[in-house]
Amino acid sequence: MHLEMKTQCEKCGAALAVDGKAYICSYECTFCPACALNMQGTCPNCGGELIRRPVRKNLNAGTQNNAQNSGLRIPAIKTWLIWVISFAVWTFIALAGTASIYELYRSMGNPMSFFNTLGLEFSQILTYAPLTPFVFVLAVRYPVQRANWVGRCLWYLAGGLVFSMAHVILRGLTPYGVWDSQARAWVSAIWDSHAHAFRVEWRTFEMLFFRNVVDDITGTYVPIVLIAHAVLYYRRFRDRELRASELQTQLAKSHLQALKSQLQPHFLFNTLHSISALMLTDVRAADRMMTRLSDLLRMSLENDALQITTLSRELEFVTAYLEIEKVRFGERLSIVLDIPSDTLDAQIPHLLLQPLVENAVRHGISRRSSEGEIQISSKHDERELYLRIKDNGPGIHTAEGRSGRDGLGLRTTRERLRTLYGDDHDLDIRSTPGCGLEVEIRLPFRVEGRPLIYELESKPAEPAL
C-alpha cells in the first residue's frame, strides 16, 4: 500500500512533481533539492538523514484496474417472483373490476349475473398476467438509454403490437372472448355457437385487435415497461450506493492502516537511535534495550491488523515501551498510573497512548537534568472516556506553541481519531512553561467490540518510504 506522495517542499513551500526529484527522511518529511542541500542532508524535524525519494512508476495502474473491476453488480431478478406478482396483481384488478361493474349494473336496474361479470373481467384482464413477465424481463434486459433511445423506442413499439396481438389471441380463446349479437351472449372466437363446432373466426380476431390495440399499448404495455425501468434504475441506484459504501469502507481501512503504519516505525527508529548511543557508553544497557525492544516488536506484530483494542492491552504495550526508556534514563524516569479498574475494558485505538507517551519522554523527560515523572490516568462517565498523559518537563513556550507544528506522532494520532470517531472526540494539549505538558483525550466510552469495518482481514503491506 503506497502512501500519498507529498507535492510541496516542507521548508520553502515549492511545488514538487510526483515524478520529480525530491528528498525525504525516514518519517517522509519531504524537501526540494535546494533545501536538502542547504540543510546538508539532515532533516530539521527529526534529525534523520535525507535520501533521494524513489520515483513511483505505474502510480495509476492500480486505480485503473480497480475502475475496470468495479462494474455494477445488478442483482438478478427472480423469475418466479415476477410470475407470482403478475398473477396476483392482475387477479386483484380483475376482482376489483368485477365488483365495480356488478354494482354499476345493479344500481342502473339492469343487474348482470355476478359469474358472467367475473368471467368477462377475467377474460379481459387476467389474460394480461401470462404476458406481463415476458414484457418485464425484456424491458429490464434491454432498457432505453441515452445512446440507444431511438432504436429501442421503435423496438418497443413493435413489441407493443405483438403484445396486443398475443392478448387478443388469449382473450379470444376464452368463453368470454367476443359478444355474439345474434345469440346475445359472450362466446369464444374459436367456437361456432350455431354449429356447435370449433372454428377460428379470423375476422373476429381482426376486429378485437383493432378495437383494443390502443388500449393494450397505452393502458397496459407502456405502464409495464415503465415499471420495469423504474425497478431497474432503482436497483442500479441501490447497487451504486452499496458499491460506494464498500469503497468508503475500504478507504477507511486503508487510511487507518496507513496512519498506523506511520506510527509503528516511529518509536522503533527512536529506540534504535537510543540503543546506538548507549552502545558507546553502556553495552549491557544497550543489550537489555535490544531484548526488550524485541518483546515490544513481538507485541506490535501480534496486533498488527488491530485498530481497536482495550485500555488494559494498550497499557501493556505502553509499559513495555517505558521499560525500554527506563533502561536509558534509569532513576530519572518515574511512571505513575492512575487507572480505575472499570476503565480497563474500555475500547480505544491501538497505538493511541504510545506516541503521546513517547513525546512526553522525548520532549519532557529528556530535557530535565533531575528526576522526571509521567502520569497516565483515566476516568469515565456514562458516555465518555477521558485519558490524560502529563509530564513535568519544561513544557512548551508560548512562541513555540504558536509557531510550532505537530510532530508525526501527534499529527497521525489526530488523523486516526478523526477517521474513527469524526467529531465525537477531543484531543487537547495544555502546557505551562516550566511545569510540563498535559494531553487530554475524550472518546466515546464503549466496552463492546467496534464494527468490523476497522478490523482488517489480511496483513497489510508495509508502507513505501
Map 180-225 to HEC letters: ECCCCEEECCCEECCCCEECCCHHHHHHHHHHHHHHHHHHHHHHHH
- Residue type at position 347: Q
**Most confident among 19-23, 49-53, 84-88 (mean pLDDT):** 84-88
Per-residue exposure over 14-53, b if at least 16 CB sit within 10 Å of its own CB, e if not:
eebeeeeebbbbbbbbbbbbebbeeeeeebeebebebeeb
d(CA 188, CA 179): 9
pLDDT at 344 over 80: yes
Has residue 461 got a pLDDT over 60? no
Domain boundaries, the chain: 1-59, 79-244, 308-449
Contact between 419 and 256 under an 8 Å Cβ cutoff? The reply is yes
In the three-class reduction of DSSP (H, G, I as helix; E, B as strand; rest coil), residue 433 is classed as: coil
Please give the pLDDT value at position 444.
Answer: 92
Cell numbers linked to 222: 407502456
Query: pLDDT tens-digit profile of 268-300?
Result: 776 777 778 778 788 888 888 888 878 777 777
Give the contacts of 419 (CB within 8 A, at least 6 positions apart). 252, 255, 256, 259
**What is the mean predicted confidence (pLDDT) over 51-66?**
53
Q: Is the pLDDT of residue 302 over 50?
A: yes
Average pLDDT over residues 380-407: 72
What average pLDDT does range 406-425 have in this prediction? Answer: 80
Give the phi and the psi of residue 378 in degrees, each rounded to 5: -145, 155
Question: Has this prediction a pTM greater than 0.85?
Answer: no
The set of cell numbers assigned to 17 is: 512533481
Look at the chain and count its residues. Answer: 465
What's the whole-number mean pLDDT along residues 11-25?
A: 82
State yes or no: pLDDT of 161 exceeds 90.
yes
Note whether 353 and 338 are within 8 A (CB). no
Full DSSP string of 331-388: GGEEEEEE--GGGTT-EEETTSHHHHHHHHHHHTGGG-SS-EEEEEEEEE-SSEEEEE
Answer whether 38's CB lies under 8 Å from 46's CB. no
Q: How confident is the model at residue 458 (pLDDT cuts 50, 70, 90)?
A: very low
Residues with Cβ within 8 Å of 89's Cβ and at least 6 positions away in sequence, in order, are: 129
Which three three-digit cell numbers place residue 141? 434486459
Domain 308-449 fold is: Heat Shock Protein 90 (3.30.565)
> Which amino acid does the sequence have at 180?
D
CATH class in words for 1-59: alpha beta
Q: How confident is the model at residue 68 (pLDDT cuts 50, 70, 90)?
A: very low
**Cα–Cα nearest to 455, from 303, 338, 328:** 303
Q: What is the pLDDT, as a whole number, of residue 43?
A: 78
Rounded mean pLDDT of the chain? 77
Which contacts qualify for 328-331: CB closer than 8 Å, 24 or more apart? 328/274, 328/278, 328/285, 328/289, 329/361, 329/365, 329/366, 329/372, 331/371
Q: Which residue has the higher pLDDT, 382 or 402?
A: 382
At residue 76 the predicted structure's pLDDT band, cuts being 50, 70 and 90, is low
